[in-house]
Amino acid sequence: MAEQSDEDLLADLGVEIEAEPQRARSPQEERVLAGFEDIQRFVAEHGRMPCHAPEGDIFERLYAVRLRRLQGLTEWHDLLKPVDYQGLLPAPSLPPDGGAEEDDDAALLASLGIEEDASDLTTLRHVRSTAQKKAAEEIAQRDPCPDFDRFRPLFEAVQAELDAGVRETRPFEARSEIEVGRFFILNGQKAYVAEKGDEIRKDYDQTDARLRVIYDNGTQSDLLMRSLQRALHRDAAGRRITDPNAGPLFGSVQEDEDQRTGTIYVLSSLSDDPWIVERRDLFHKIGVTGGTVARRIADAENQPTFLMAGVKVERTYELMNITRSRFETLIHRVLEPARADIEIVDRFGRLIVPREWFLVPLFVVDSVIDAIVDGSVAGLQYDPKTAELVRVG
């Protein structure tokens, strides 16, 4: 009977033999191995060595530079030869690369956004952490917004209010600013918080909530409030768009005691009704709201006053210390001869007669506003035949 070794005897007894512990690799050795594995994966995938052709893929050129370095740095061969199953280290001649001169290594790596350290062949600087990538992916995961026509007028209204100085942009500060109906600027796009789910209780008594965020490019995302908060803080240009403020009244200087009393808005219809399409340049709704124009027109497609269709914001005028209903009445009186006589059936089959639509060009609306501001509106009325304001009586 053959003599059993100690290992065999221990195995028969069910005793596991502890493997001799291997020397732990240094972080630098781990990085060199990882960089070498990148080259091996390239060779396995493409069936050839990486080339340093100027027109080649930037990462292939990086692998070629890295491999040349490793072939020349013999102090790393003892580490790499045991895993070099493709025979990359004996420094075989690389395939011809068209005779192109090698770029300066630093310039090549700089084009990748990588800072090179001659003592560390595989360290990539300024590369985002896993947490940063995950947070960025949360924002980047967007889908087409199926009902964007509902939201397009909101973005147009906000832009008009920004242009008019009714709203402004400010740095994002706190999570409490993220509420339904608020607008933000994230990565150069306007973002609107359309929906907010129930609060979610998380660790350490922190709360969160799922949001539906609409972007002005017609996309949407379903993300957590804290994810939006982190994205706004990371974006150097991230901003919040303020609610309409008590701004100057038609260019006048605002005094401390002035109070905002409303906003006059002028809209055009996006209806595809042939009669409206033919008169779109003249067909305008002139109304007033005590809130924001964006919220007023948020559900235009389902409101008979908006003709059950989307609208486009053409003008907004901020009112200060003025009774908005009287201001609206005054504008409508001047434009009465151009009031459109229209009827529409709402969702419940009821016949509605909207009274705020006029067949009048925008420059005339501007003239009426100017006349009210300078006090010359008394006795003025719009003449549809001449498209001018005329004095009557």
pTM above 0.95, yes or no: no
Question: Which of 247-251, 359-363, 373-377 has the lowest average pLDDT?
Answer: 247-251
Q: Which domain holds residue 184?
A: 169-241
- Is residue 135 in a domain? no
- Is residue 363 in a domain? yes
- Is residue 143 in a domain? no
Q: What per-residue confidence (pLDDT) applies to 297?
A: 92
pLDDT above 90: residue 172 = no
Q: Are 264 and 237 members of one domain? A: no
Q: Could you read off the pLDDT of 331-358 as tens digits, one per residue?
A: 888 999 999 988 888 778 888 888 899 9
Task: Calculate the alpha carbon distances from 204 to 201, 207, 208 in Å.
Answer: 9, 9, 12
- Is residue 156 in a domain? no
Nearest residue to 306 (alpha-carbon basis) of 322, 290, 287: 287
Give the separation between CA 150 and CA 206, rounded to whole angstroms.
33
- The domain total for the chain is 3
Q: Are 287 and 219 members of one domain? A: no
Give the separation between CA 241 and CA 172, rounded to whole angstroms.
9
Which of 241, 269, 284 is where one domain is finished?
241
pLDDT category of residue 43 using cuts at 50, 70 and 90: confident
Q: What per-residue confidence (pLDDT) applies to 116?
A: 44
Q: Are 290 and 323 members of one domain? A: yes
Nearest residue to 111 (alpha-carbon basis) of 59, 37, 55, 56: 59
Answer whether 39's CB lies under 8 Å from 76's CB: no
Q: Are 273 and 360 members of one domain? A: yes
Q: Could you read off the pLDDT of 63-101 as tens digits, one per residue?
A: 888 888 888 888 888 888 888 888 888 754 444 444 344
Burial of residue 288, with CB atoms counted within 10 A of its CB: 0-12 exposed, 13-18 middle, 19 or more buried:
buried
Give the separation between CA 269 and CA 284, rounded to whole angstroms.
7
Q: Are 268 and 235 members of one domain? A: no
Which of 61, 96, 111 is where one domain is finished?
111
Q: Are 178 and 294 members of one domain? A: no
Q: Are 339 and 379 members of one domain? A: yes
Q: Are 74 and 196 members of one domain? A: no
pLDDT higher at 207 or 210:
210
% pLDDT > 90, the chain: 17
Q: Are 187 and 274 members of one domain? A: no
Q: Are 225 and 335 members of one domain? A: no
Answer whether 175's CB lies under 8 Å from 225's CB: yes
- Is residue 226 in a domain? yes
Tell me the one-letter amino acid at 65.
V
CATH code where residue 203 lies: 2.30.30.30
Q: Are 282 and 197 members of one domain? A: no
Q: Are 210 and 307 members of one domain? A: no
pLDDT category of residue 283 using cuts at 50, 70 and 90: very high
**Other C-beta atoms lying within 10 Å of the C-beta of residue 268:** 18
pLDDT above 60: residue 295 = yes
Residues 6+ apart with CB under 8 A from 288: 262, 263, 264, 265, 319, 324, 325, 327, 328
- Is residue 155 in a domain? no
Residue 254 in tokens: 């605002």
- Is residue 5 in a domain? no
Mean pLDDT calculated for residue range 216-245 = 85
Query: What's the distance, Cα to Cα, between the start and end of the chain in Å?
Result: 133
- Is residue 125 in a domain? no
